[in-house]
């Protein structure tokens, strides 16, 4: 039996929002495996796994740009963080974001490491961002970065209010026919936060976890209703399939209902246009995996 330490309990409570006793029971049942304990908590409906309570919000903006290439188009987007929205919405900070994205495009950066190393007026972008703190009297840093290429690339940059700079950017790459619906799909990505393009793109470990959670939750619900084991085994697969389909509808772009017409999916939009979605990315200020 693995030791259930206070640090494990604290970590799981922070990530799920579950109570002390529920967390201790889940960790004990999972023999200290925190990933498995999250699944147990989700299966019992105690809390939503993966929800990080108390994460410090980051302010700032998203700078983005689409450029033409010999092969089509490339879209770039980068998150630039400040401590307050007061600084983020100043013309000087917005102009700074424009300068950073321009340098990124010139360098044709493909990763955050490339971004930091890209040439800028004060050495590299990393140098420029670090020095910007003195100008704005706040800690300024680079956040998330995305680069998407294809025959057609569409970017939608969303402002949460008129006085603030863009804080969400969606980039979608399509073939030429898909360009007909690319703007609508970019709006969808901003609003509905899909994680994957298609079912085939869903991470194997995530799908296995979702299947286990759906199976255990369904089994416990049916048992609580007094269903005999032979009946549970018979109807379990169909209910689990339905729950996985609901997971796909929430998390997979092509499976999502089109927000402007729920009778269609995003996949249907592309079929009607005889086009294809090739790749997408979504960046939101303060939502990066490494931002604390």
Q: In terms of Cα–Cα distance, which of 78, 77, 59, 58 is closest to 67? A: 77
Same domain, 79 and 144: yes
Distance between CA atoms of 44 and 218, rounded to whole angstroms? 10
Domain boundary among 17, 33, 54: 54
Q: What is the structure's pLDDT at 81?
A: 93
Q: What is the structure's pLDDT at 289?
A: 58
Q: What is the structure's pLDDT at 266?
A: 98
Same domain, 26 and 71: no
214 φ/ψ angles, rounded to the nearest 5 degrees: -65, -40
Q: What is the structure's pLDDT at 138?
A: 84
Same domain, 279 and 151: yes
Same domain, 67 and 149: yes
Distance between CA atoms of 292 and 284, rounded to whole angstroms? 14
What angle do the packed helices 34-43 and 20-29 form, to 10 degrees? 120
Euclidean distance between the first and final Cα of the chain, in Å? 32
Same domain, 118 and 38: no
Same domain, 149 and 38: no
161 lies in some domain: yes
Same domain, 70 and 190: yes
227 lies in some domain: no
Counted domains in the chain: 2
3-state secondary structure the chain: CCCCCHHHHHHHHHHHCCCHHHHHHHHHHCCCCHHHHHHHHHHCCCCCCCCCCCCCCCEEEEEEEEEEECCEEEEEEEEEEECCHHHHCCHHHHHHHHHHHHHHHHHCCCCHHHHHHCEECCEEHHHHHHHHHHHHCCCCEEEEEEEEEECEEEEEEECCCCCCCCCEEEEEEECCCCHHHHHHHHHHHHHHCCCECCHHHCCHHHHHHHHHHHHHHHHHHHHHCCCCHHHHHHHHHHHHHHHHHHHHHHHEHHHCEECCEEEEEHHHHHHHCCCCEEEEEEEECCCCCCCC
User: CATH number, domain at 169?
Assistant: 3.30.479.20
Q: What is the structure's pLDDT at 8?
A: 84
Q: What is the structure's pLDDT at 49?
A: 35
Domain boundary among 54, 74, 95: 54
Distance between CA atoms of 273 and 277, rounded to whole angstroms? 11
pLDDT in tens, the chain (292 residues): 567 888 888 888 877 777 777 888 888 988 888 889 888 887 876 654 334 333 343 799 999 999 999 999 999 999 999 999 999 999 999 999 999 999 999 999 999 999 999 999 878 999 998 888 878 888 899 999 999 999 999 999 999 999 999 999 999 999 999 999 999 999 999 999 999 999 999 999 999 999 999 999 999 999 999 999 999 999 999 999 999 999 999 999 999 999 999 999 999 999 999 999 999 999 999 987 544 4
Domain that holds residue 5: 1-54
| Residue 178 exposed, middle or buried by CB count within 10 Å (0-12, 13-18, 19+) | buried
Q: Could you give the C-alpha distances from 181 to 119, 176, 233, 273, in angstroms and in order?
A: 36, 10, 43, 7
Domain boundary among 54, 74, 89: 54
Same domain, 38 and 83: no
Same domain, 13 and 125: no
Q: Give the CB-side neighbour count of residue 184, counting CA atoms within 13 A.
A: 19
187 lies in some domain: yes
Same domain, 97 and 158: yes
Same domain, 135 and 68: yes
């Amino acid at each position: 039996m693995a030791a259930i330490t206070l640090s494990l309990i604290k970590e799981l409570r922070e990530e799920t929002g579950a109570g002390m006793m529920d967390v201790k029971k889940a960790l004990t049942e999972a023999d200290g495996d925190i990933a498995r304990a999250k699944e147990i908590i989700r299966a019992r409906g105690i809390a939503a796994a993966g929800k990080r309570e108390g994460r410090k919000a980051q302010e700032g903006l998203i700078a983005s740009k689409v450029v033409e290439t010999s092969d089509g188009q490339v879209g770039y987007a980068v998150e630039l963080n400040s401590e307050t929205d007061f600084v983020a919405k100043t013309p000087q900070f917005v102009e700074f974001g424009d300068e950073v994205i321009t340098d990124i495009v010139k360098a044709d950066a493909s990763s955050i490491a490339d971004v930091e190393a890209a040439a800028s007026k004060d050495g590299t972008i990393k140098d420029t961002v670090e020095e910007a703190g003195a100008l704005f009297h706040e800690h300024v840093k680079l956040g998330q970065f995305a680069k998407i290429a294809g025959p057609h690339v569409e970017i939608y940059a969303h402002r949460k209010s008129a006085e603030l700079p863009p804080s969400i950017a969606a980039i979608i790459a399509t073939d030429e026919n898909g360009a007909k619906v690319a703007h609508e799909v970019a709006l969808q990505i901003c609003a509905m936060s899909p994680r994957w393009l298609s079912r085939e793109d869903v991470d194997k470990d995530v799908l296995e976890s979702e299947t286990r959670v759906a199976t255990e939750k369904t089994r416990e619900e049916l048992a609580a209703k007094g269903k005999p084991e032979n009946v549970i085994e018979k109807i379990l697969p169909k209910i689990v399939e339905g729950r996985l389909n609901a997971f796909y509808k929430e998390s997979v772009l092509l499976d999502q209902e089109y927000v402007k017409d729920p009778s269609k999916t995003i996949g249907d939009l592309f079929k009607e246009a005889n086009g294809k979605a090739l790749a997408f990315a979504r960046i939101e200020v303060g939502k990066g995996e490494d931002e604390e």
